[in-house]
Protein backbone atom coordinates (compact mmCIF):
# COMPACT_ATOMS: atom_id res chain seq x y z
CA UNK A 1 0.00 0.00 0.00
CA UNK A 2 1.57 3.29 -1.15
CA UNK A 3 1.46 6.65 0.67
CA UNK A 4 -0.88 7.92 -2.05
CA UNK A 5 -3.22 4.98 -1.38
CA UNK A 6 -3.20 5.76 2.35
CA UNK A 7 -4.01 9.44 1.71
CA UNK A 8 -6.83 8.54 -0.69
CA UNK A 9 -8.26 6.03 1.77
CA UNK A 10 -8.11 8.55 4.60
CA UNK A 11 -9.82 11.23 2.50
CA UNK A 12 -12.66 8.90 1.46
CA UNK A 13 -13.04 7.69 5.03
CA UNK A 14 -13.41 11.34 6.09
CA UNK A 15 -16.24 11.76 3.59
CA UNK A 16 -17.86 8.61 5.01
CA UNK A 17 -17.80 10.10 8.52
CA UNK A 18 -19.31 13.39 7.32
CA UNK A 19 -22.14 11.55 5.55
CA UNK A 20 -22.73 9.44 8.66
CA UNK A 21 -22.86 12.57 10.83
CA UNK A 22 -25.42 14.10 8.45
CA UNK A 23 -27.48 10.89 8.65
CA UNK A 24 -27.43 11.02 12.46
CA UNK A 25 -28.55 14.69 12.45
CA UNK A 26 -31.37 13.95 9.99
CA UNK A 27 -32.48 10.94 12.08
CA UNK A 28 -32.55 13.10 15.22
CA UNK A 29 -34.63 15.68 13.32
CA UNK A 30 -37.05 12.92 12.27
CA UNK A 31 -37.61 11.92 15.89
CA UNK A 32 -37.95 15.57 16.99
CA UNK A 33 -40.56 16.17 14.26
CA UNK A 34 -42.51 13.07 15.32
CA UNK A 35 -42.51 14.13 18.97
CA UNK A 36 -43.55 17.73 18.35
CA UNK A 37 -45.90 17.71 15.34
CA UNK A 38 -49.31 16.04 15.31
CA UNK A 39 -49.26 15.12 11.61
CA UNK A 40 -45.53 14.69 10.86
CA UNK A 41 -45.75 13.00 7.43
CA UNK A 42 -45.23 16.15 5.27
CA UNK A 43 -42.19 17.09 7.39
CA UNK A 44 -40.77 13.58 7.55
CA UNK A 45 -40.86 13.06 3.78
CA UNK A 46 -38.05 15.51 2.84
CA UNK A 47 -35.91 14.24 5.75
CA UNK A 48 -36.30 10.62 4.65
CA UNK A 49 -35.58 11.52 1.02
CA UNK A 50 -32.46 13.44 2.08
CA UNK A 51 -31.19 10.43 4.06
CA UNK A 52 -31.83 8.06 1.16
CA UNK A 53 -30.17 10.49 -1.26
CA UNK A 54 -27.04 10.73 0.89
CA UNK A 55 -26.67 6.95 1.09
CA UNK A 56 -27.33 6.46 -2.62
CA UNK A 57 -24.94 9.21 -3.75
CA UNK A 58 -22.04 8.79 -1.31
CA UNK A 59 -22.16 5.21 -0.02
CA UNK A 60 -23.53 3.55 -3.16
CA UNK A 61 -21.56 5.97 -5.37
CA UNK A 62 -24.24 6.38 -8.01
CA UNK A 63 -22.20 9.17 -9.62
CA UNK A 64 -19.33 6.74 -10.32
CA UNK A 65 -21.40 4.42 -12.51
CA UNK A 66 -18.97 4.65 -15.42
CA UNK A 67 -15.68 4.48 -13.45
CA UNK A 68 -13.13 2.00 -14.78
CA UNK A 69 -11.19 1.48 -11.58
CA UNK A 70 -11.82 -2.18 -10.84
CA UNK A 71 -12.32 -5.38 -12.74
CA UNK A 72 -12.86 -9.00 -11.87
Partner 1 sequence: MSTTTVHHHHQSEGNYSKLTTDRVGLWLFLLSESMLFLGLLSARFYLAGTFRPPELNQALGVGITSILLVSSLTMFRSEVAIRHGDQSSFLRHLLITIVLSILFLGGVAYEWSQAFTHFSPNTVFGTIFFSMTGMHALHVLSGIFLMLLIYRNGRSGKYSEHNHWSVEATAKYWHMVDVVWVFFYAALYLV
Q: How far is CA 42 from the centre of its chain?
A: 21
Q: What angle do CA 68, 18, 25 make, to 5 degrees?
A: 135
2-61 positions binding partner 1, by CB under 8 A: 5-6, 8-9, 12-13, 16-17, 19-20, 23-24, 27, 30-31, 33-34, 39-41, 44, 47-48, 51-52, 55-56, 58-61
Of 25, 46, 62, 63, which lies in the binding site for partner 1, with binding defined by CB under 8 A?
Answer: 62
Helix axes 41-54, 3-36, angle to 10 degrees: 170
Q: Would you tell me how many other CB atoms lie within 10 Å of the CB of residue 43?
A: 15
Binding stretches for partner 1 (CB under 8 A): 1, 5-6, 8-9, 12-13, 16-17, 19-20, 23-24, 27, 30-31, 33-34, 39-41, 44, 47-48, 51-52, 55-56, 58-62, 65-72
Amino acid sequence: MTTEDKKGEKSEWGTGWKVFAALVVLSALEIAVTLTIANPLPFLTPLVLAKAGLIIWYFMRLGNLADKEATE
